[in-house]
Structure 1
Amino acid sequence: MAKSKVSMEIINPNAAGIDVGSRSHFVAINQNKDDVKEFGVYSKDLNNLAKWLIESNIKTVAMESTGSYWQNLYTELEQQGIEVVLVNGKFTKNIQGKKTDVLDCIWIQKLHTLGLLRGSFLPDHHTEQLRTLCRHRHNLIHNAAKSVKRMSQNLRLMNLRLDVVVNDIVGLTGLKIIDQVCNGETDAHKLAAL
């Protein structure tokens, strides 16, 4: 009995695949190893990468969301008008043979050409800004709370039980007392008068 070869329909004919790395990016524009190029990670390198894709008539690119290494490349490609599909690495695993950067980018290109990759969720610019601000605010509040706790512990170690005298050691009264202690005041009556 003859084996039949299954061919899949090409969904993205002008597609590239990029294996994103910390020191370089490997880019495949078709299934030939000769058409794979390696680019650095600096701004000029990313610009050259985008120009090469445009010169090669590439309209869409798939790349893995590896750490944070993809972000600058993603921005550069979008600014150059290239559609970018950011995919989770678990959907691009190449199960055949040895793993190399060249083979990985060719595999990503093949999957993308056949329309087998689904992009990850990326928030719009305003949502990303809001999320960044909220995370930053959370970190500031968390760090402030840790600092107050550390301050309270150090005061206790110096046998200055300010936490027994005032409700909030970083409130107005607590900070006045701490300021006076830092300026050398040791008279308990003067500190209590605050």
Structure 2
Amino acid sequence: MTLHQEIASWLAPKKRKICPVPKLECSAPSHRLLQFPQLNPKPCILVFLRHCGCPFAEKACIDVCNLDAVLKGTIKVILVSHSSKEATNRWLQAVQQSGRLSANFENQELAASILIDEELELYAAWGLGVAKTEHVLNLATVYAAVSLGWREGLWDRSTESGSRWQTAGAYGIDRFGIIKWVHIPRLASDLADFEDAKAVLLES
């Protein structure tokens, strides 16, 4: 990481048309990068990450990939990153080397598929745009970041690419491509309850 890269992470992404947030019980948006329903369909948790290096993105990755239903292959996980492919791969490798990510029971690999969306096309299609100042810079988020670091050892990592102003989000989609669960963070530190997503998808 260079000082230039760190400074660049504080620049807002270029403006683009943002679609409305998909609603519960509606069909999941299909895009050239990601089609629903999928071939060999399974229930799916789709997670749009904050920039690689963000401790809240790391926490989301760990929590969703370590779900028992995900490790067993009952539920599929797709992680979407707007950082570069190289930066995302280095970040994921660092997270795996930390020992906090369980391997898939069958192939001992990360229990998730990774999509790179540097142009933020998928983010926009799923209703995720640029955050307001109070979404990122607020006392609650600072306190949550420090607490996450002290409690779980998840501190801010180097940011090689991506924007701190791009919002995150997560969705639970059933095997027919219908949205059953939605989490849109109120603040950058607002973490999703993936156990709840699992329960909803397994019941649908």
- TM-score, with normalisation over the residues of structure 1? 0.24
Q: Which has the higher helix share?
A: 1
- TM-score, with normalisation over the residues of structure 2? 0.24
